[in-house]
């Protein structure tokens, strides 16, 4: 393959992600699936290969390969190659539209899983009822994730919950009619949190995700207590910080005598995307799977369109399902007070159910497929800019968090420069996201619909210093804490 062709292929594949469709076709050019194919024990003993490459493994990497088997995830279904996208890199380099069609074909797996879930939506209906009850009872809803699912949690708060209730409360007639059924602070009643808090949205905070401790500390930091609804989301089903959060929330229920698992599981939800039998070898996962006081929602769809990129089908399914639950909860809150005409004005169909919403996902997939010609032209346009050593800039207001989240995923997937900050003297990142704001505080407000919320070192430093036994994790966590405020 010529240098020009390789450059065009790389640029085209990176451009796909910038369309906000997570069309991350670029990853194949850098060896899709290699991490799922080489047993870690072999890698640790391949001295000849390391010598050939002139690489001396660090003590930390050797420790990981030899001792951290509980964090080696190559057996998980989400880490395997998808048979539909084996030659995605070559295909998209030749034909952007064909590459997009190949990529979107994997979304049929999500459709199949949601159709199956629609036949048994009891756990989701239970969650919607629990959210309604929590809001009416003056409690909170806490959605927590890490990485892509952390961004999902932020999106639930800042793209869905806050804008919707802000719109409702801007209508004086509705506010009067709703009365105390919808509290004045309802925008703040749902907290979308991620491992590392708001700073983790834009910066990589190493060492946090492998600590159950930080999940428990953030739970306390945000004031979450027994009676609040806690929804913890992990694509793999093994993320330590997310598991620490759900177990910490469950501990609050266990601390009071007389509390039964039947009560706590109405408020505690663990959402994940791998088969239980593949997760059971991981002790931390098993501690949740075997806990009767936690409701588990398994959304396994299979391998991802791009190997290991769980921000694709896994997070897509989680976003859609949790969004459907929140929509149903909002409908339950409002329909007791409002007429059918008023509900319709707010966008609610009186006949829509969670099961019905799940079955509608297939229509989205078909709409996306129909848009392939237009998306391909945009992909090629952005690709041409990159091939010519130029950049792209996205401008957004109401869609800012969606555009930002889709864009920021490029860096880890394709080994590109991360987003530049405003302090960078010259652009490095191929793309940038901008919105109208004169200060950092204004930008965060536009981004999240509320002020920035970081981690207070006073709460986290001492536990990190005294309770994290692994020296590598402790050092990484303390370094990240210094940047997380």
Per-residue pLDDT tens digits for 154-164: 999 999 999 99
Residue 120: per-residue pLDDT: 98
- Range 373-377 contact pairs with CB under 8 angstroms and sequence separation of 24 or more: 373/97, 375/19, 375/21, 375/23, 375/100, 376/96, 376/97, 376/100
pLDDT of 226 > 60? The answer is yes
The three-class DSSP label of residue 128 is helix
Start-to-end CA distance of the chain, whole Å, equals 47
| pLDDT confidence tier of residue 17, bands split at 50, 70 and 90 | very low
Tell me the per-residue pLDDT of 328-347, one tens digit each, with 9 for 90 and over. 999 999 999 999 999 999 99
Higher per-residue pLDDT: 263 or 30: 263
pLDDT of residue 404: 84
The predicted structure's pLDDT at residue 9: 44
Helix and strand element counts for the chain (H, E): 26, 7
- The token duo for 360 is 């509608």
Per-residue confidence band for 324, with pLDDT thresholds at 50, 70 and 90: very high
Q: What is the predicted pLDDT for the residue at 47?
A: 58
pLDDT of amino acid 141: 99
Distance CA 90, CA 66 (A): 35
Across 43-67, average pLDDT:
77
pLDDT, mean of residues 204-222: 96
CB count in 10 Å sphere of residue 46: 14
Cα angle 346, 352, 357; round to 5: 105
Between residues 257 and 335, the one the model is more confident about: 335
- pLDDT reported for residue 349: 87
Asked if 478 and 464 count as a contact pair (C-beta separation under 8 A), the reply is: yes
Question: Is the separation of the CB atoms in 333 and 141 below 8 Å?
Answer: no
Q: What value does the mean pLDDT take over residues 448-471?
A: 96
pLDDT of residue 136: 95
* DSSP type of residue 337: T
Cα dihedral across residues 166, 168, 170, 175: positive or negative? negative
Tokens representing residue 229 in the block: 């609804």
Domains of the chain in start order, with CATH, are 1-37+74-386 (3.40.50.10490)
Helices (H), 295-371: 313-335, 340-345, 354-359, 361-370
CA-based angle 215:401:191, to the nearest 5?
35
Q: Which two tokens stand for residue 68?
A: 């951290």
pLDDT score at 270 = 99
pLDDT in tens, 270-315: 999 999 999 999 999 999 999 999 999 999 999 999 999 998 999 9
- In which element (H, E) is residue 65 found? helix 59-67
Of 455 and 255, the structure prediction assigns the larger pLDDT to 455
Query: What's phi and psi for 78, nearest 5 deg?
Result: -70, -10
């Amino acid at each position: 393959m010529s240098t020009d062709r390789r450059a065009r292929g790389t640029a085209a594949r990176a451009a796909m992600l910038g369309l906000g469709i997570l069309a991350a076709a670029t990853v194949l050019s850098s060896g899709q699936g290699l991490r799922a194919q080489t047993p870690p024990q072999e890698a640790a003993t391949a001295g000849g290969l390391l010598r050939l490459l002139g690489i001396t493994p660090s003590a930390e990497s050797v420790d990981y390969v030899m001792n951290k088997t509980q964090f080696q995830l190559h057996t998980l279904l989400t880490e395997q190659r998808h048979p539909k996208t084996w030659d995605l890199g070559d295909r998209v380099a030749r034909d952007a539209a064909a590459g997009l069609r190949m990529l979107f074909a994997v979304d049929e797996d999500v459709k199949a899983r949601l159709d199956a879930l629609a036949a048994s939506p009891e756990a989701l209906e239970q969650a919607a009822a629990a959210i309604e009850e929590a809001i009416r009872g003056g409690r909170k809803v806490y959605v927590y994730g890490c990485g892509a699912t952390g961004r999902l949690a932020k999106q639930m708060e800042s793209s869905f919950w806050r804008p919707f209730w802000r719109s409702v409360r801007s209508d004086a007639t509705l506010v009067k009619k709703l009365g105390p059924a919808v509290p004045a602070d309802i925008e703040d009643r749902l907290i979308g949190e991620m491992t590392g808090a708001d700073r983790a949205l834009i910066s990589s905070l190493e060492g946090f995700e492998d600590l159950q401790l930080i999940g428990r500390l953030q739970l306390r930091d945000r004031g979450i207590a027994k009676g609040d609804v806690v929804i913890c989301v992990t694509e793999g089903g093994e993320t330590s910080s997310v598991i620490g959060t759900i177990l910490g929330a469950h501990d609050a229920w266990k601390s009071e005598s007389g509390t039964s698992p039947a009560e706590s599981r109405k408020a505690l939800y663990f959402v994940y995307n791998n088969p239980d039998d593949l997760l059971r070898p991981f002790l931390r996962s098993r501690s949740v799977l075997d806990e009767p006081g936690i409701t588990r929602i398994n959304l396994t769809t299979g391998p991802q369109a791009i190997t290991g990129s769980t921000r694709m089908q896994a997070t897509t399914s989680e976003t859609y399902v949790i969004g459907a639950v929140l929509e149903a909860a909002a409908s339950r809150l409002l329909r007791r007070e409002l007429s059918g005409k008023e509900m319709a004005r707010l966008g609610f169909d009186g006949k829509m159910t969670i099961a019905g919403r799940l079955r509608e996902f297939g229509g989205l997939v078909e709409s996306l497929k129909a848009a392939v010609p237009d998306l391909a032209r945009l992909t090629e346009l952005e690709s041409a800019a990159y091939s010519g050593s130029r950049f792209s800039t996205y401008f957004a207001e109401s869609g800012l968090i969606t555009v930002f989240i889709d864009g920021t995923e490029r860096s880890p997937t394709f080994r590109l420069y991360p987003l530049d900050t405003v302090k960078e003297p010259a652009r490095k990142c191929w793309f940038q996201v901008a919105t109208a704001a004169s200060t950092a505080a204004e930008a965060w407000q536009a981004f999240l619909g509320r002020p920035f919320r970081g981690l207070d070192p006073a709460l986290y430093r001492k536990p990190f210093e005294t309770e994290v036994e692994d020296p590598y994790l402790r050092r990484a966590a303390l370094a990240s804490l210094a940047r997380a405020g």
